[in-house]
Structure 1
Amino acid sequence: MNNQFITLDCDDDVVLFQKDTFKVSRLKELVREQICSKWERHSAFDHMTQKTTTQISEFLKEISLSQEIIKIDEIKLNLIIDCQILKITGKGWQKGKLKMQINISNVTTNKYTLYLEFCSDEAVKPESPLDDIRKMIEVT
């Protein structure tokens, strides 16, 4: 693996997990729906107050440290998953890792943002301006 993640900004690229394939646009949509649903609708038990809160968003809006209360403005979740990607620019299927960064904000109007990045398992050869000259020398 080359450890160089590139942003998946083309919504028509295709991601293959073990059994399922998704266009990048559909994958983003499904992940956002799941995060929103789980964040807003599930309950959590607060051991400090010994009460169940109705939403995880309420449960994680602040933390208490003794007498200090710290408000949480943003939570970031990072996931890395094995996958393959088919880019519309060609090259066929590439094996690698998909990194999902999910940001949940308690202070902005765009509460849920999602970033997808891909890192190929194959080593990437850096392009050199001398490659054309080398090819010409090899031909002669």
Structure 2
Amino acid sequence: MEDGFKAIECNDGDVLDFGDNTYKIAKFRQAMDISFNSKLEDTLNEELNEELSRQGVEIKDSPNMNWFQEGINCEILALGSQSWKKGKVKINISVEFYIEEENVQITNSNNSEITEPESPLDDLRRMIHE
């Protein structure tokens, strides 16, 4: 992601705060999974196919066209390969968290700011040179 954000790994026990509501990552992921396995998925499949068509990408309609669960039958010709390979293309949706600020500042009892060193080895190098 652009704009200076940095993605971090989230554990199931981590908590997201959406103003008045907080949720553990595990509950949020479970709710997203269930949501995408419901009628929402049917709507997304239909809208995705319509948008692809508007962009000039026509996918042969099949009775159970499902980008998110079963995938769509297709073939791929990879660079360097001598033949087409049959398979499916499937869309996976991931939830990512991006940190807005990278600078970590700690204040001690004298209210002076201490910033994290550029490298954890900087402190060792200073001690060696002293």
Q: TM-score, normalised on structure 2?
A: 0.47
Identify, as 1 or 2, the structure richer in helix: 2
Bigger strand share:
1
TM-score of the aligned structures, taking structure 1 as reference length? 0.45
Higher relative contact order (CA 8 A, sep 6+): 1
